[in-house]
Amino acid sequence: MAARQAFRIATRATGRNAFSTLPRQAFRQQGRRAYSSEAPAPEKSSSSLPYIIAAAAAGGLGFWYYTSNGAPSAAFTKVPTQADYQKVYNDIAARLEEKDDYDDGSFGPVLLRLAWHASGTFDKATGTGGSNGATMRFNPESGHGANAGLLTARDFLEPIKAKYPWITYSDLWILAGVCAIQEMQGPIIPYRPGRGDREAAACTPDGRLPDATQGHDHLRNIFGRMGFNDQEIVALSGAHALGRCHTDRSGFTGPWTFSPTILTNDYYRLLLEEKWQWKKWNGPKQYEDKTTKTLMMLPTDMALVQDKKFRPHVERYAKSNDEFFKDFSAVIVTLFELGVPFAAGSESQRWNLKPTWDESK
C-alpha cells in the first residue's frame, strides 16, 4: 500500500513515471505490485436473474425486482447509496489479485476489457448498443471474436452479483471497470449507476468493436460511430498500457508495456521511444520492440504514430502522465455511459468511489 501511494505522489510530482530509472526488473514491496518501466527478468508464465429497473415512487425513486415473465415482484427497496456501491467496489478490489498466477497477477485488465467491450458496441446513429443491457451474457454477442476470453471476467463477477443481487449486470460490469482502473493506479473515474439488463434480442451485431489488424481509417470509423474524435481515440487507446494479448483469444501475443497491471503513460512513451519491427512468427501481423523482443504493438497502435493527426496527441500524453490521466478519465466516463437512459437529474449521482489502497482519500 505504501509503495502504491509513493508511486502516485512521485508520478504526479515529476510528470513522468516514478520508477522509470530502476533496473530492468519487476519488483514488489510490502506484498503489492510495484512499477517498472523496463523489462523484467524472465520468469515462469502461467498459462436469468431478475432485472432491476428504476421506478417512480412516492418520496423518490425506488427499485422494483422484475420476475422472468416481466411482472414486478412484491419486493421494493430503497435506492442504493454511494456507500452501497462502495461496498461492491471494495469486494471486487479485494479479489483482483486472489489468483496470483492469472496472467500478470491481476484480473484488473480483463475486467476493464469487459467494461470496454460492453460499452464500445454503441451506435450513435441508431442509439443501439452501449453499456446498457449487458447483452454479452447471450449468444451471439458472447461468441463475437472481439469478446473471446471475456467469459473469465464475467465468471469472476458472478460471486459479487450473487452477494449483491440488487445491482444489475450492466452496472456491475462498468463498476468493475472503474475499480480495475483505480486499483491499477489509474485516475479517479466518476461512476454513475442506472443501467438496466436486457434480453438476448437486444444483442448487437458483430463488427462494432475495433479490429486490431486495421489502420487509421478503421479507427476513425469505429470510434466515430460511437461519437469520439481524434483526441479521444488516442486517449482511450492508452488503456493498452494494461494487460496483454493471448493467442487463444485475439491471436496476438504479449503485453504492450513492462508493467501491465499499472496504468501509466508508458504506452505512449514506448510507441515513440522504442524501435519497432514486425514480429517473425506464424501468428497475425504484430510488432515487437527491437531491444527486448518482449513487448508488442498492434497495427492499430502503430497507426497512432503514423497518422499525422493522431501523433500530436500521442506526443502530448507521452510527455505528461497528468495530461493523459485527465483526458483518459473524461473520455472513459463518456464511453461507460454510452447508450444509457439515465434518469433526469442523475448527474449528482456520479460518484468518486474510493480506491482501497489510497489511505489519503
CB 115 within 8 A of CB 243: no
Pseudo-torsion of CA 301, 26, 105, 114, nearest 10°? -20
* 240 annotated active-site: no
Which residue from 165, 138, 178, 140 is spatially nearest to 154, judged by alpha carbons? Answer: 138
* 117 annotated active-site: yes
Number of Cβ within 10 Å of residue 315's Cβ equals: 14
Rounded Cα distance, 162 and 154, in Å: 12
Instruction: Give me the catalytic one of 64, 116, 173, 256.
Output: 256
Pseudo-torsion of CA 118, 123, 129, 130, nearest 10°? 40
Strands 287-289 and 60-66, how do they pair? Answer: unpaired
Instruction: Give me the catalytic one of 64, 117, 216, 351.
Output: 117
Per-residue cell: 227: 461519437
Number of Cβ within 10 Å of residue 190's Cβ equals: 18
Cross-strand pairs, 55 = 62
Rounded Cα distance, 157 and 164, in Å: 11
* Alpha helices (H) along the chain: 2-14, 82-95, 108-119, 151-163, 169-183, 216-226, 230-237, 266-273, 299-306, 311-319, 321-336
Long-range contact list for 150-158, CB < 8 A, 24+ apart?
A: 150/110, 150/113, 150/114, 150/117, 152/107, 152/110, 153/107, 153/110, 153/111, 153/113, 153/114, 154/114, 156/95, 156/107, 156/110, 156/111, 157/92, 157/111
Kindly list the catalytic residues. Answer: 117, 256
